[in-house]
Amino acid sequence: SVLPVLSTQGKRCRSERHKIFSHDNMSVAHYFALVFAVAVLGGWCFLWIMHVTGIIFGKVRLHRAVSTPSPEDLPGVSIIKPLVGVDPNLYTNIETFFNQSYPSFEILFSVQDESDPALMVVKALMEKYPKVDAKIFIGIKHVGPNGKVNNMVKAYEAAKHDTIVISDSSIKMLPDTLMDMISYLKPDVGLVLQMPYTEHRKGFAAVYEKVYFGTYQARSALGAAAVGINCSTGMSCVFRKDVLEKHGGLAPLGKYLAEDYFICEILTKAGYKSALCSKPALQNSGHYSISHFHQRLVRWSQLRISLLPQLIFLEPLSECMLMGVVASWAVEYVFGISPMAFFLMHVLCWFLCDYCTLTTVENGSLPFSKFEFLVAWLLRECLAFYLTIQSHRTSIVNWRHKKYKVHWGGTIEEI
b (16+ CB within 10 A) / e for 235-274? bbbbbbbebbeeeeebbbbbbbbbbbbbbbbbbbeeebeb
Cα gap 180→157, rounded to integer Å = 25
CA dist 380 to 133, 225, 377, Å? 42, 23, 5
**Which residues is 197 bridged to in the sheet?**
282
DSSP 27: -
125 Cα distance to chain centroid: 31
Cα gap 56→163, rounded to integer Å = 30
CA dist 65 to 58, 174, 176, Å? 14, 13, 9
Q: Kind and range of the H or E element at 341?
A: helix 339-362
**In this structure, are strands 236-240 and 105-111 parallel, antiparallel, or unpaired?**
unpaired
135 Cα distance to chain centroid: 30
Q: Is 113 a catalytic residue?
A: no
284 Cα distance to chain centroid: 17
DSSP 256: B
Short-list 168, 143, 166, CA closest to 156: 166
- Among the listed residues 168, 180, 260, 354, the single catalytic one is 260
Short-list 100, 140, 97, 94, CA closest to 121: 94
**In this structure, are strands 105-111 and 77-82 parallel, antiparallel, or unpaired?**
parallel
Cα gap 114→120, rounded to integer Å = 10
Cα gap 180→13, rounded to integer Å = 65
Helix, strand or coil, per DSSP, at residue 7? helix
DSSP 103: S
- Among all residues, which ones are annotated catalytic? 260
